Amino acid sequence: MTENDRSLIKQLMIAGRYRVVYDLMPQYNMDKSQEIIKNMGNKWCCHPDNYVKRLEVPLPILNEPRTKVLKGRR
């Protein structure tokens, strides 16, 4: 969205034409979000660098019972 578009939206709001503004807001919000995500780079929580890295073989500690209560039930 260009500066001219933003100016047009402000003029429409001043004129009381809110329905037109409501139609434009989803696209405006999407553009703003994409710009913020691009600026954040790999700091963004859903960036591919931040995906969960799974182990090929689970850690042995995960196979051991964690409490004494569960130890007797197995």
Domain range summary for the chain, segments of one domain joined by +: 3-73
Under DSSP, is residue 57 helix (H, G, I), strand (E, B) or coil?
coil
pLDDT category at 8 given cuts 50, 70, 90 is confident
The CA-based angle 61-65-69, given to 5 degrees, is 155
pLDDT category at 54 given cuts 50, 70, 90 is confident
Residues 43 and 53: their CA atoms lie apart, in Å, by 17
Residues in the chain: 74
HSE-up (13 A, CA, CB side) for residue 42: 4
Residues 57 and 69: their CA atoms lie apart, in Å, by 27
pTM: 0.49
